[in-house]
Structure 1
């Protein structure tokens, strides 16, 4: 199966709070992690795909992403968001007093939405934003008792979601998650052997599905066809090699799964926006300045 992203948490308090501008290539691919995640969109717009469900988002929207949710994001324009990541153990002691404290995560997609839009119960949504922004402020302060404030704000946020955003459980509300493990395994195969000349038929055969069925299920989960997703993985890998290695463009093309240099240059220009040589100069120029 596709391996989880390793999220490094501080040992003394297993939470991180940060501001993200745009979406890095690492998170434009389908991924999952064991940490729980909360996002507040503070500006701009974009798209999330979570367990095969596509969500357009804009400023003021809040996202809850559970452990093991298979997800990816890509920006529209001028995207900025607050990202909170924390270990479930941070609220485990609360189960004694409130056994349902984790339901907003554990039942996303059925009892609770992954996305809480800015126009849903405006007063409650405003409080969610207030708690998240307070957590951002506290996390980067040096004030005493800041961990207590962070913990308290997190509990208030979860209680607010539980009170105001529970939805009727219907068949339509549940995302189609039956085949997500198969999708994870297919992506792991691609990522572990980018140089291989994968075909749709081969990927479908390994998933024990017809090419058309496999393509439909994969597209639902990833937001693009299997072969387009493979192309994105290869181009992302090529960008990493351009920045981090001294390999020639031809060697990078070959190690990223492109057998034809002119085809690599053409696709790189189309999807990345500039030739590989120009991208290398830009990336290595940034590295030398930092």
Structure 2
């Protein structure tokens, strides 16, 4: 916790692509973040949720989520969540874009002509899932020409999304996208110093807006008020420390920006649903 909002994903330059399964949600990805790499998530099992640009999407087995380079997102595990996570650099498909300039439109125009979560009822979904599984099998086996097959399958996947899942852009979607850089700059400051007792005025001053205007924009994109988001970040850090260290609870509370233990316990129970001692005892 406490890092800036942008994550740099380490992909090999020779073949900037990776695909693997994850069980549950790692602490770093339970905070709001964004990255330059493109990402596809396929829900293999279980249930969860994604908060993306202020909208919460309930996830179920079979869902496919696309995350573009500017999407602010965080994941939640609602029980037994297993995600196939594919990340890749747009350069992977540079040659294909020469013949199909719209190939990356599902990411470039995310929130405008394309939704982050594909329509699970669409008849093409079965074929898209099969393509993702085939890419993972090729990646794991690393047989002859596997990189060529993966590139071909990725191009095919995006071509189908482009053809079957496009919609008309709305002005509301365009307005939200235009405000994201402002909110990202505030998130970077919050993540850089999560224990700080930020006030609404201080956060609004970072981007030269009135507190009321800033609060409305922030909640529209993030899904929480600025101060509630600050509390969630502090509590996420506290849960991580409770689960991974044997430090005293009062010391953890202080490090996470809570001025006294009673306030920490009250806010912790209100948001987490358990006491700090119960979280530690469950380990």
TM-score with structure 2 length normalisation? Answer: 0.88
Name the residue aligned to 1:107.
109
Aligned counterparts of 1:261 and 1:169: Cα–Cα separation in 2: 49
Change in 2 beyond 3 A, CA 1:138/1:282: farther
Aligned counterparts of 1:132 and 1:15: Cα–Cα separation in 2: 13
Write the mapping of 1:15-26 to structure 2, written as runs, cut at 5 A.
Answer: 15-26=17-28
Name the residue aligned to 1:141.
141
Name the residue aligned to 1:287.
none
Aligned equivalent of 2:50, options 48, 51, 60 = 48
Aligned counterparts of 2:271 and 2:249: Cα–Cα separation in 1: 17
Q: 2:259 matched to 1:259? A: yes
Name the residue aligned to 1:157.
157
Mean Cα displacement is larger for which, 224-233 or 140-149? 140-149
Contact 1:36-1:67 at 8 Å conserved across structures: yes
Contact 1:52-1:175 at 8 Å conserved across structures: no
> How much has 1:231 moved relative to structure 2?
0.9
Q: Give CA deviations for 1:87-132 in whole Å, capped at 9, x if unaligned.
A: 1111112122222211121111222222212112x1x211111101
Contact 1:30-1:71 at 8 Å conserved across structures: yes
Aligned counterparts of 1:195 and 1:81: Cα–Cα separation in 2: 31
Change in 2 beyond 3 A, CA 1:250/1:54: closer
Aligned equivalent of 2:62, options 21, 44, 60 = 60
Name the residue aligned to 1:201.
201
> How much has 1:86 moved relative to structure 2?
0.6
Change in 2 beyond 3 A, CA 1:195/1:112: closer
Q: Partner of 1:147: helix, strand, or coil?
A: helix
Gaps of 5+ in 1: 284-290
Q: Give CA deviations for 1:176-222 in whole Å, capped at 9, x if unaligned.
A: 12221221122222222223221223322333333332222211211
Name the residue aligned to 1:233.
233
> How much has 1:281 moved relative to structure 2?
5.6
Contact 2:27-2:240 at 8 Å conserved across structures: no
Change in 2 beyond 3 A, CA 1:202/1:172: closer
> How much has 1:265 moved relative to structure 2?
2.5
Contact 1:253-1:261 at 8 Å conserved across structures: yes
Q: 2:58 matched to 1:74? A: no
Q: 2:21 matched to 1:4? A: no
Contact 1:37-1:64 at 8 Å conserved across structures: yes
Gaps of 5+ in 2: none
Contact 2:29-2:74 at 8 Å conserved across structures: yes
Change in 2 beyond 3 A, CA 1:206/1:141: same
Name the residue aligned to 1:286.
none
Aligned counterparts of 1:78 and 1:247: Cα–Cα separation in 2: 29
Contact 1:182-1:207 at 8 Å conserved across structures: yes
Contact 2:50-2:56 at 8 Å conserved across structures: yes
Contact 2:22-2:85 at 8 Å conserved across structures: yes
